[in-house]
A and B are shown apart, each in its own frame.
Chain A
Amino acid sequence: MTKGEVPNVVGLEVLKKNGVNVEKLKELITKGVGAEFTTYYYYTILRMHCTGLEGEGIKEIVEDARIEDRNHFEAMVPRLYELGGNLPKDIRKFADQAGCPDAYLPDNWEDINSILKVLLEAEQCAIRSWGEVCDMTAGKDHRTYDIAQKIMQEEIEHEAWFIELISKRPSGHFRRKFVGQSPHTGSQGGLIHL
């Protein structure tokens, strides 16, 4: 076998036999991890603007969501390469193709509710986006499904946090053990670094 030549990949062969459209799956994953990466970036800006009595009150929760979204990027990217996909060479292209909008800082950021609404919108898009990957892989691509459903679990928790902050509905959430704990995807994040 010459250098660069890839032998038959049984991990891919079984997916095709199970009826997974691998090209489409790679496209959706690239969009999903694009959204995680841009969200991580924009959440950094949003978090910096969580100041004052109210802002400081939510800063740690924003930080948990920010780091966990970065963890989602790290948890899924290795799978993209296993599937034969890759990240776009140019980060501009990567951001433009992302499955979710940029979570821009709103003009009236001094009103902490306006920041919370942007955060909620971003989490809800992430749930839809990973839901697509879960639907496509359930019962067919066990490995991708396992990672995507772990991400989904954390996205649903993120959505709940921001809904609870906005609506004051009763909440089962207390706090993470440490910042960006990622109770579900934590083990996957370790694929890139510890």
Chain B
Amino acid sequence: MKYSKTDRYPVCKSSELVDDTMMKVSIDMVDILVGRRNGKLFACDNSCPHKGASLSKGCFNGDRVVCYMHGYEYNVFTGKLENMKSWKKEDTWVEQDMEWRKSGDLILYSVSEEDGTVYVALK
């Protein structure tokens, strides 16, 4: 199947995406995190912009998804990195180099819902 960036694709039933849940779906080998938080739908690339972990293994904190790998938090609606968690578990630990710590923002996809189906477009 050929996918186009502008077309939208059905990814799940609305009933599968209850409030405050998220799940991984795939379109053309691109893993997408689709979810509903406080009644609002969101869709983004499932790969964490920091080091590529699966965001679907994370959890919510407010409007943010918390990556399970190093704990960075990204706003699922704006895509912005809002909490670059420190590696330091104790005061005596040395902080990581900034080059290692830095991260881009989430890649957001457009998401919609119609007649009981959730659609995502890769744009």
Contact = CB atoms under 8 A, between A and B. Distances in A.
A21 B89 contact: no
Interface residues of A, number: 29
B69 A125 contact: yes
Interface string B82-101: 00000101101110110110
Given A21-B29, A21-B30, A96 B99 contact: yes
Contacts of B47: 24
Given A21-B29, A95-B100, A118-B93, 4 more contacts: A96-B100, A98-B100, A104-B94, A128-B69
B13 interface: no
Interface in A89-115: 92, 95-99, 101-102, 104-108, 114
Contacts of B26: 19
Nearest to A102: B96
B68 to A, nearest CB: 7
Interface stretch (B33-41, B51-59, B112-120): B51-59
Contacts of B96: 101-102, 104
Contact of A31 (B30, B31, B52): B52
Interface of B: 26, 29-31, 47, 51-54, 68-70, 87, 89-90, 92-94, 96-97, 99-100
A162 to B, nearest CB: 14
A112 to B, nearest CB: 13
- How would you classify the secondary structure of chain A's contact residues: helix, strand, loop or mixed? helix
B93 A96 contact: no
A31 B53 CA distance: 10
A117 B90 contact: yes
Contacts, number: 60
Given A106-B90, A106-B92, A31 B97 contact: no
A50 to B, nearest CB: 16
B69 A121 contact: no
Nearest to A23: B29
Nearest to A16: B29
Given A24-B47, A98-B100, A101-B70, A132 B92 contact: no
> Which 8 A/B pairs are nearest by Cβ-Cβ distance?
A104-B94, A108-B92, A107-B92, A96-B99, A21-B29, A106-B92, A101-B87, A99-B51
B53 A117 contact: no
B29 A117 contact: no
A135 interface: yes
Contacts of A118: 93
Contact of B89 (A24, A117, A128): A117
Contacts of A96: 97, 99-100
A95 B100 CA distance: 8
B97 A102 contact: yes
A156 B27 CA distance: 33
Contacts of B92: 106-108, 114
B33 to A, nearest CB: 14
